Every structure is written in C-alpha cells, then in structure tokens.
Amino acid sequence: MTAILDEYLAKHPGSAQRFAEAVGLFPGGVTHDTRYAQPFPLYMTHGSGPRKWDVDGEEYIDYVSGHGALILGHSHPAVAAAVAEQVTRGTHLGASTDEEVRWAKAVMALVPSVERVRFHSSGTEATLMAMRLARAYTGKRKVMKLQDHFHGWHDYAMAGSDRPSPGIPEASFESMVIVPPATFDAGVEDALNRDPDIAAVILEPTGAHYGQLPSTFPSS
C-alpha cells in the first residue's frame, strides 16, 4: 500500500501542487463529489478519443468517459465541429430554438418509450424531477432506492448513501425506502409488497457507483 502511495506521490507532483491551492477554493478541494480522491485527485489537461493526459504528462485510458456521457470519446471530430459552429451563433439565446426540437426528436428516436422530453442541466436535477414526477403521477409518497447507489446529491438521493449528510432534513429520508445490498432480490419485492406507498424504484443498473459495487441478486 505504501509503495502504491509513494509511486502516486512521485508521479503526480503537479496535481499535488494544484490540489493544495484548490482546498482553499472548493469544499473538499473538488468541483464534483466523484472527483474527491486520497491523497489528492489528478488534474487533467486534455483528452482525445479514449485517452486523456494529466498536468504531469501521464497518459491514461479514460474509463470515466465524462461520467459515462462520452460514448464517442473525447473531442470526437464531429462533436467538436458541431460545438465550434454553434458557439459562434450565440452562447445563450434564452429562447426556444430549432435545435431543441431536433434534439428531442433524436432522443425519442433512440429511446422509443420516451413520450415527452425535459432537458436538465445535471443528473442531480434529473433524478429529483423523476422522483417528483413519479410521486405526482402515482399519488404515492415514497421512492425506493438501493443502498449506496448514486443518483446525485439532492436530499432524497442522499438517503442510504455511504457519505455523511449533515443539513438534510429527516423528513426527506422518511420518504425514501432503502434496500440494503445483501437483500436486493427479496428485499425489493418484499418492500414493494409491504408498502403500498412506493411511487418508484430508482437504481444504478450497473451497480452502485458506476458498477464499483456490483449488485448481487441472490437468486439470479
């Protein structure tokens, strides 16, 4: 363990230096919870396709891929060209556009079950709205979540998290039903049978924290 740590420290002096400055700027020194790392996170300069490079010149295969959003990799030429062209036509028109209509149609073509589209500026906002929508549609109050599964950092999503959650009212947690990993299979079914007030089940299909803790369903 010490050898791994020593190698990390030796290879990343540039990241260490930047993190020392960042702790005075950002809570936890990072701009997104998932970037928090011990003893410090890595600072990247650029990416191309499946690779990215840090401030110390190290090259990486990027399994993070923009938190899963970059299915075409970093700076795919078609994506880079489209962004560059669009940015010269206005940066925030504050109005409806042809592009949003084309985009929504593309989403609906890719996911045929989608009936209407609502764009959100973050996953946190999207899961908050999805829970609200499920409650409104069903008239039920609660949402079921699998323990440690990550759905952003709004008050409901933080229920059953492995992180401390000061500042979140107990009432938010009371409307969440948390199923622990060891009992996913029976636990989900059991909780749904026992509690008629559950509007929706939310989960990371690949397992908690992008599959870092794979979900095991005992009878499957």
- In terms of C-beta density within 10 A (0-12 exposed, 13-18 middle, 19 or more buried), how is residue 78 classed? exposed
In sequence order, the 6+-apart residues with CB closer than 8 A to the CB of 125 are 152, 154
Relative to beta strand 142-146, strand 59-61 is unpaired
Nearest distance in Å: CB 44, ligand PLP: 17
Q: Could you tell me if 100 and 119 are in contact, meaning their C-beta atoms sit under 8 angstroms apart? A: yes
Segment 74-133, which members bind ligand PLP (CB under 6 A)? Answer: 122-124, 127
Nearest distance in Å: CB 139, ligand PLP: 25
Which of 14, 73, 152, 181 contacts ligand PLP by CB under 6 A?
A: 152
Q: Is 145 in the site for ligand PLP (CB under 6 A)?
A: no
Nearest distance in Å: CB 132, ligand PLP: 15
Q: Is 150 in the site for ligand PLP (CB under 6 A)?
A: yes
Nearest distance in Å: CB 135, ligand PLP: 18
> What tokens were used for 41?
């996170």
Which of 46, 51, 67, 102 contacts ligand PLP by CB under 6 A?
A: 67
DSSP state of 74: B
Q: Measure the CA–CA gap between 129 and 118, rounded to whole angstroms.
A: 9
138: β partners:
none
Q: Is 34 in the site for ligand PLP (CB under 6 A)?
A: yes
Q: What are phi and psi of 49, to 5 degrees?
A: 55, -125
Q: Is 148 in the site for ligand PLP (CB under 6 A)?
A: no
> Of all residues in this chain, which one has the CB nearest to ligand PLP in the complex?
123
Closer of 12 and 143 to ligand PLP (Cβ): 143
Chain residues that interact with ligand PLP, rule: CB under 6 A: 34, 67, 122-124, 127, 150-152, 204, 210
